[in-house]
Chains A and B, each alone.
Chain A
Amino acid sequence: DTGVSQDPRHKITKRGQNVTFRCDPISEHNRLYWYRQTLGQGPEFLTYFQNEAQLEKSRLLSDRFSAERPKGSFSTLEIQRTEQGDSAMYLCASSSRAGASYGYTFGSGTRLTVV
């Protein structure tokens, strides 16, 4: 097991284009989280999955954002009609226990730059 994997590591896109990121959690973890980290800020919660069910979404997740975890394994985060304000590091994390109180295992993130 190599931990939480995210692909791609870096993505540069033109404003208005759609982008999709992938996260592969630790195989025995059934809980998966997406966070966004902008420059000079700590990570901010976007959404949470338990198995394939999306149980919680932040209001930061506008209607241009969609996340899926179709088979309860890997997850994708899609941003449609990207804007410059979407430029950030997108972090994925997973855990095997309910709640954040036990801590997460984070991936290395996908850095998105919208030009």
Chain B
Amino acid sequence: AQTVTQSQPEMSVQEAETVTLSCTYDTSENNYYLFWYKQPPSRQMILVIRQEAYKQQNATENRFSVNFQKAAKSFSLKISDSQLGDTAMYFCAHSGAGSYQLTFGKGTKLSVIP
């Protein structure tokens, strides 16, 4: 069974600064995918970034990038130039290749302070 651990229940960052959210996971699969999802208050969850485990290159989407350390089973999210709209719950998630399920961590509540 897969597990996803987010050890930071809450974090805050000043607007325009950079913040890194941590995630570790455990899996017995060789081929899998990792995700960061954002859930703004009272709004739907949206996909921020996706990483394929067999790709060594870290995924990047505009201000969002990941640091994927496969051997350490670590998958952190870096948000650069933080904006007020980045305030949300952030969930790290895992999926095995061909699996229908996502396994989520407990989330990190990020507050961007003006």
Contact = CB atoms under 8 A, between A and B. Distances in A.
Interface of A: 3-4, 31, 33, 35, 40-45, 48, 55-56, 91, 98-104, 106-109
Nearest to B52: A101
Interface of B: 4, 33, 35, 37, 42-47, 50, 52, 91, 93, 95, 97-107
A33 B104 contact: no
Nearest to A95: B100
Contacts, number: 64
Given A106-B45, A108-B44, A109-B44, A100 B102 contact: yes
Contact of B100 (A43, A99, A109): A99
B106 A100 contact: no
Nearest to B102: A100
A20 to B, nearest CB: 21
Contacts of A44: 104
Given A100-B33, A103-B35, A108-B44, 8 more contacts: A41-B107, A42-B93, A45-B101, A48-B100, A99-B97, A101-B52, A103-B47, A106-B44
Contacts of A42: 4, 91, 93, 104-107
Interchain residue pairs A-B with the least CB separation, the first 5: A42-B104, A100-B95, A106-B45, A103-B47, A101-B33
B102 A104 contact: yes
B7 to A, nearest CB: 13
A23 to B, nearest CB: 12
Nearest to A93: B45
Contacts of B43: 108
A4 to B, nearest CB: 7
A34 B98 CA distance: 18
Contact of B95 (A31, A35, A41, A99): A99
Nearest to B6: A42
